[in-house]
Structure 1
Amino acid sequence: MGTLNYDSRITVELDDRTLAHLQLVIWSKLRRGEHFSFTWTVESATPRRTSVWCAPNIPMVFEYDQSEPAELNPRWMELLTKSANSGAGLRLLPEPEPGS
């Protein structure tokens, strides 16, 4: 499990594969100076939904447990990017099969 640290105040644990896909989508938008929301749900005994505002001036740190990068699923990247470009903002979507 890796972690995403947002503004030194919020930390969420995600598997390295998910984190790698999110990192590329988030950095692509921030590199272009785009602002957007990012919402995720943590499933636990008491499920919690968190939503943050992503902007180029807010620090984000992606930390991975594995030293080797995950192989990326282009279809998942496309779906996450569409989500990030929507009015609802980036949402953590399940990974589709690569050819679907």
Structure 2
Amino acid sequence: MGSLYYGDATEPILIEDRALAHLKVVIATKLRRNESFTLSWKHPDGVLAGRSTIWLHPSIPLRFVFQFADSPDLSRAWIEDLAQSASSSGGITLVEEHLETAED
């Protein structure tokens, strides 16, 4: 399980490594463009039930911490899904991975 530290929060946001790697690409792209947006996710099992949303802004510190040292192979389709949601008025919603098949 990876961790996303945002601002001065001492408790990390827990996100599975593979999902966090994909989010990192989309978030870094948006912040590099000096764009602000929201990020919403459902809480993982074993954590307080529900969902959360944070406001991401280029001036607020952000740190990605991965459980595993090796970077996973990235899915272009999943990055595109996340990027599309990032450009919507609702901001990034951590959607399930679009599994690529031979037909994709």
Distance 1:22 1:98 in 2: 18
Q: Does 1:18 align with 2:19?
A: yes
Distance 2:71 2:19 in 1: 11
Q: Which runs of 4+ in 1 moved over 3 A?
A: 43-46
5+ unaligned residues in a row in structure 1: which ranges?
none
1:68-79 map, 5 Å = 68-79=70-81
Counterpart residue number, 1:42: 43
Q: TM-score, normalised by structure 2?
A: 0.89
Question: Size of the alignment, in residue pairs?
Answer: 100
Q: Does 1:89 align with 2:91?
A: yes
Distance 1:61 1:43 in 2: 19
Distance 1:92 1:81 in 2: 10
RMSD of the TM alignment (CA)?
1.3
Q: TM-score, normalised by structure 1?
A: 0.92
Counterpart residue number, 2:5: 5
**Greater strand percent: which structure?**
1
